[in-house]
C-alpha cells in the first residue's frame, strides 16, 4: 500500500497504560506509558495531523474498588465523574510520556489533552438494559451488599463471580469536536475521547448533565474519525491481526477485508462482544461511513500497520 495518510486517529486500549496484570502503582503505570510512547513515536514524528483516543476499563474498575472500600467514610462519586477521573489520569500519563519521547528525539511537537464529553440519547435502550461489566469480581454476598448500599446493578458473570454492570449507550455527538480539529490542524497531538468520553445528555436549552454509563471507546473513536475527516483509523491492541476460528487449529488471520466480509463472519459467531467485537464494529462503521481505511493491529507495529504491511486492513468494498 503506497502513501502515508496525513490525517490519523489512533485508538489504543486501556491496557496501553494499565494492563490488568499490574498492581497499578505509579511506577508501573509510568513504565507502561513509556512503552506506549515508544510504539507511537514513529507516527508522532511524521508530518501529520494526529488524534489519540484511549480506553479506561481497568482504571475505572479500580476507581470503583476504591469507592467500595471507602464508601462508609467517603461519599462515592457518580459514574460520569469516575469516567472523567480516569480520562484525566490516563491522558496525563500519556501526554507526559508522548512529549518526553518526542523531546528525547529533539522533536518540539506538543501533546494536548482535551477532557471530552460525549452526548448520548437519554432514551437509548441501553439505559433499560445495563450489560457492560466494569470493575472487579465479587462473591454473591458482597454483590448483594453493594446493590443495597451503592444502588449498583450486579450480575453473575460466566461462573467467575458477580460484577457491576452499567449501561453502554451509543455515542451520538462529541462535544467541542471543533476544538479537537483546531488542535490537530495546528500540529499538536490531541488526546481526546478517553474511555469513550464522559457520558452526558443534552437538555432543550443546550445544557448538559452527566449520566451513569460507560460508552464504548472504539465506537466513540469511529464517530470522531468520521466527523474529523480522518483518512486512516488505527485501532491498536494486543493482537497482530483479526482472526476467525480464534484459538483453534482452524484459526486464520485476516489480512484484508471489507465491512461486508467482517459482518458476515461476525454473524457466524466470530469476534465476540467481550474482545474483538467492538473493534470490528468500529472499523466497519468508519469505512461504511466514507472512511478510506481502518486498521486493527498490534500497538508495537503501529507504523508498519499504517503502511499496510501488517494488521487487518479494512477497506471499502471496491478496494478488497
What pLDDT shows up at residue 62?
83
Q: Residue 78's closest CA among 143, 171, 150?
A: 150
H helix or E strand, kind and range, residue 106: none
Active site (catalytic) residues: 14-15, 132, 217, 279
What pLDDT shows up at residue 24?
78
**Mean pLDDT of successive 10-residue stretches along the chain, which has 320 residues:** 83 74 84 95 97 88 83 90 94 96 98 97 95 84 89 82 91 96 97 97 95 95 97 94 93 96 95 85 97 96 96 88
Q: What is the pTM of this model?
A: 0.92
Q: Which class would CATH give 7-57+79-119+176-319?
A: alpha beta
Backbone angles phi, psi at 208, to 5 degrees: -115, 150
Q: What is the dihedral of CA 39, 314, 218, 111, to 10 degrees?
A: 40
In the chain, what is the straight-line distance between the N-terminal and C-terminal CA atoms, in Å?
Answer: 12
Residue found under cell 467500595 = 68
What pLDDT shows up at residue 185?
96
- Contact predicate 186/114, CB 8 Å: no
Residue 217 CB burial class (10 angstroms; 0-12, 13-18, ≥19): buried
What pLDDT shows up at residue 302?
96
| 226's grid cell | 468520521
- Contact predicate 199/211, CB 8 Å: yes
What pLDDT shows up at residue 1?
47
What pLDDT shows up at residue 23?
80
Amino acid at each position: 500500500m503506497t502513501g502515508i495518510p496525513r490525517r490519523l486517529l489512533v485508538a489504543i486500549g486501556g491496557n496501553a497504560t494499565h494492563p490488568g496484570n499490574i498492581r497499578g502503582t505509579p511506577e508501573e503505570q509510568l513504565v507502561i506509558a513509556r512503552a506506549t510512547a515508544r510504539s507511537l513515536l514513529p507516527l508522532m514524528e511524521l508530518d501529520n495531523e494526529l488524534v489519540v483516543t484511549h480506553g479506561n476499563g481497568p482504571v475505572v474498575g479500580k476507581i470503583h474498588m476504591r469507592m467500595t472500600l471507602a464508601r462508609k467514610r467517603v461519599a462515592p462519586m457518580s459514574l460520569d465523574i469516575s469516567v472523567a477521573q480516569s480520562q484525566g489520569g490516563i491522558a496525563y500519563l500519556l501526554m507526559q510520556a508522548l512529549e518526553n519521547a518526542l523531546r528525547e528525539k529533539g522533536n518540539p511537537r506538543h501533546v494536548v489533552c482535551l477532557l471530552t464529553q460525549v452526548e448520548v440519547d437519554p432514551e437509548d435502550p441501553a439505559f433499560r438494559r445495563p450489560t457492560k461489566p466494569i470493575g472487579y469480581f465479587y462473591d454473591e454476598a458482597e454483590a448483594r451488599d453493594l446493590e443495597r448500599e451503592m444502588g449498583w446493578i450486579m450480575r453473575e458473570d460466566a461462573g467467575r463471580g458477580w460484577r457491576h454492570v452499567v449501561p453502554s449507550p451509543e455515542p451520538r455527538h462529541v462535544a467541542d469536536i471543533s476544538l479537537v480539529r483546531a488542535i490537530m490542524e495546528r500540529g499538536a497531538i490531541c488526546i481526546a475521547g478517553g474511555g469513550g468520553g464522559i457520558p452526558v445528555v443534552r437538555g432543550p436549552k443546550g445544557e448538559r448533565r452527566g449520566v451513569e454509563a460507560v460508552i464504548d471507546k472504539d465506537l466513540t473513536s469511529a464517530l470522531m474519525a468520521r466527523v474529523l475527516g480522518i483518512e486512516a483509523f488505527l485501532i491498536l491492541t494486543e493482537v497482530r491481526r483479526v482472526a476467525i476460528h480464534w484459538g483453534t487449529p482452524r484459526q486464520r488471520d485476516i489480512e484484508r477485508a471489507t465491512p461486508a466480509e467482517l459482518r458476515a463472519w461476525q454473524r457466524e459467531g466470530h469476534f465476540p462482544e467481550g474482545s474483538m467485537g467492538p473493534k470490528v464494529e468500529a472499523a466497519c462503521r468508519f469505512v461504511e461511513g466514507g472512511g478510506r481505511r481502518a486498521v486493527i493491529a498490534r500497538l508495537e507495529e503501529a507504523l508498519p500497520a499504517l503502511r499496510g504491511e501488517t494488521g487487518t486492513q479494512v477497506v471499502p468494498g471496491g478496494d478488497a
